[in-house]
Every structure is written in C-alpha cells, then in structure tokens.
Amino acid sequence: MKKQLLLIEDDKIVRENTAEILQFANYDVITASNGKIGVEKAQEHLPDLIVCDIMMPKLDGYAVYKILSKDTNCEKIPFIFLTAKTNHIDRRKAMELGADDYLTKPFAESELLGAIEIRLKKRTLNNPLPNHTIPNNKSLLKFKNLEKLIESMCNRPISSYEKGDTLYCAGNKSNHVFLVKSGTVKTFRNTESGKELITGLYKKRQFIGYTSSMGDFPYKENAEALEELKLIKIDKIEVREILNSNPHIALDLLKMISDNIDSIKNKMLQMAYSSVRSRVAKILLMVIEDNPLNKILISRTDLASLTGIAKETLIRTLADFREDGLVETNRTYINIIDLEKLKKIR
C-alpha cells in the first residue's frame, strides 16, 4: 500500500518542488501551507510520516510537533523537521522535543528520500501488524507460475501516466515494482556529456523496476512513459512476500532478467554490424509488436536513441521507407503499411 506523507511548508515553491519529489518516489502526498492547517490535516488523515518546516506563520514547526505529540492518534507518527536554519541550538531543540530527524535546506533529493525511508522502516519494525491480519494478506496466495501471477495482478487498480511522465529517477530508492498493463516505458541513463542512452523498452505484461526492489539500493536508471501508460504498482514488501510464498516464481523472474540481458546483447550486436536500414526496421518491428493498429506514437528522438543513430539519419531512413511504401509518417505517428517487407530488410 502506498505510504501517505504530510508536507507542512509555507514557501509555495519549496512546497511544490518537495511534493513533486515525493510523488515521483511513489508517495501519496498531502500538503499544508502553514502550521495550523498542518495540524488539522494531520489529525484528519493520520499520515504515515510528517515533514514539517520550522519557521512558519500562525504555528511554527515546534508548536506543530508539541500539539501532535500530545494527541494520542498522532503521537507515534514519525516527524522530520525541515528548515533553512543551521544553528546547532535549533537542531538540539528539535531533537530534544523528540523529532525523528532534522534536514537543513537546501537538501539533496536522496537525503530527503533516505531519511523518510529509514523512519518509515523503523515505524514498521516498532509497530508490526497483529497476527490476525496475516491470513488476509494477498501475498500469501499461491501461484502456479509467473503468468498466473501477472493475470492476478492485472485485476488490481491501475495508475495512469501521460506521455513524458517520469516513473522514477536514478538515485531514488525503490518502493514499488511496476507491471505494465498498456503502453510503453523506456529506461535510460544520461552520460557525462548529457546524452541520453536508452537501456530498455518495457511493454504490456512486463515488469519494470524489480531489480532495485530486490535489495535496499537506489535505481540505477530513469524510467519514463513513451506514450499514454497504465501501470499496476506492487509494494516491494509484498513482492518479497510473494517470492517467499512462491519460490518457484523466483526462477521465472531470474529467467526474465536473463532474457532481458540477452536482448540487450543482441541489440548491441545489431547496432554494431547491421545496416542502418536494418537497424531502423528492427526497432520499428520491436516497438510495433503486439500493437494491432500498427501505429507508432514514439518520438523520432526516442526512436533514434533506441536505434543508436542520429535523429537526422533516422528521418532520412524513414523517408526512404515511405517512398518504398513500407510506412506512412506524419509529425505525431508512424504507421506500418507493409509489415512483411519490413521484416525482410537486411
């Protein structure tokens, strides 16, 4: 289940930017523009954790903490102070009050997310679920194989993303495994020169983000929606419980990882030895796979990156394909006209 955070911050820009970071990390974020509203929202929603600025109008962060610490419903909620003040006296005061952590602005994204994850884990360890809830845990269900697991997951609520939306960023900690229900996701890394290197393409009924969820370490790459996207999010704790209850599925998952590695190796070989026409044809066929409309909505820039050629070279090659009657193109899509001829290009 997605964790809910309350962010209390009077500076609008800081509030919106911080909320965006937390949302990208797959937290459900509630915001408050001052301490008074923050107390009200904390008592109403009972969030899993509170991030609170110190210097605020109406009620400062210290007053917010004192009020909530006396509320029996809120007293155990982890509390992180966020402030531009760097005086050690302020830090000592925050910790003496009983706050769980204290971050100084400006802070690194990884610093904030790391502090939150640590506090949430400690809360889970200190407040374990009662035994009577375990039999109702979905993760204790048995699945014959990975396909049966996917079928079960596809019936869950979906999260929708628009083209260009970010799923997660390199350096963020993993909170979920994603199952693609429809659409396409690209994973990529940025080189030191700022060039984007696409490392993977994920489509319907494929998992993404599972390697980071297997251990307590951050994502090594970025993930972005290439088109309108629908995903099922699975909490990484549940993933581990599923694998513990269904150890045979772990072998299927390892095979999936192995197949992905083989696919990347084959792609590198194609890029090294195939002609430009062949490489472009193979990428178009890969992207169009399982698409009954034979229509590609991915941008020319992304297609060029996937193919390993310059955007201008891709555009010239597509123009050649159009003259040969293989494709139809305009600014928003590429329509495959002759699939069989495209397969024969060498």
For residues 192 and 270, the model is more confident at 192
How far is residue 166's CA from residue 153's CA, in Å, rounded to a whole number? 22
Structure letter (DSSP) for residue 218: B
Residue 228 has pLDDT above 90, yes or no: no
pLDDT digits (tens, 9 = 90+) for 52-62: 998 888 788 88
Residue 328 pLDDT:
92
Residue 142 lies in a domain: yes
Q: CATH code at 101?
A: 3.40.50.2300
pLDDT digits (tens, 9 = 90+) for 112-148: 898 898 888 877 665 544 433 333 444 456 788 888 8
Whether residue 247 sits in one domain with residue 193: yes
C-beta of residue 167 within 8 angstroms of C-beta of residue 223: yes
Whether residue 310 sits in one domain with residue 238: no
Residue 154 pLDDT:
87
Alpha-carbon Rg for the chain in angstroms:
24
Q: CATH code at 336?
A: 1.10.10.10
Domain limits for position 59: 4-126
Report which residue type is found at 301: T
* Count of domains for the chain: 3
Whether residue 279 sits in one domain with residue 240: no
For residues 48 and 106, the model is more confident at 48
Residue labelled with tokens 């305009």: 330
> What contacts 266, CB < 8 A, 6 or more positions away?
none
C-beta of residue 54 within 8 angstroms of C-beta of residue 60: yes
Q: Per-residue pLDDT averaged across 109-113, rounded?
A: 87
CA neighbor of 120 nearest in space, from 243, 241, 1, 242: 1
Whether residue 293 sits in one domain with residue 238: no
Whether residue 47 sits in one domain with residue 8: yes
Q: CATH code at 161?
A: 2.60.120.10
Residue 34 pLDDT:
92
Residue 129 pLDDT:
41
Whether residue 307 sits in one domain with residue 236: no
End-of-domain residue from the set 126, 161, 182 = 126
At 148 the three-state DSSP class reads helix
- The token pair that represents 83 in the structure block: 């402030």
Report which residue type is found at 189: R
- The token pair that represents 342 in the structure block: 């495209």
Mean residue pLDDT across the chain:
81
Q: Per-residue pLDDT averaged across 80-100, rounded?
A: 65
Residue 22 pLDDT:
93
Residue 286 lies in a domain: yes
> What contacts 204, CB < 8 A, 6 or more positions away?
180, 181, 182, 183, 290
Residue 265 pLDDT:
66
- The token pair that represents 170 in the structure block: 């390199």
pLDDT digits (tens, 9 = 90+) for 272-292: 667 889 888 888 887 787 676
How far is residue 175's CA from residue 177's CA, in Å, rounded to a whole number? 7
Whether residue 183 sits in one domain with residue 103: no
Whether residue 90 sits in one domain with residue 143: no
Residue 323 lies in a domain: yes
For every residue of 68-79, DSSP letters joined together read HHTSTTTTTS-E
How far is residue 278's CA from residue 295's CA, in Å, rounded to a whole number? 19
Structure letter (DSSP) for residue 131: G
Whether residue 104 sits in one domain with residue 8: yes
How far is the CA of 13 from the CAs of 16, 31, 167, in angstroms?
A: 5, 12, 22
End-of-domain residue from the set 95, 126, 157 = 126
For residues 120 and 101, the model is more confident at 120
For residues 138 and 187, the model is more confident at 187
Residue labelled with tokens 């799923």: 167
End-of-domain residue from the set 101, 126, 151 = 126
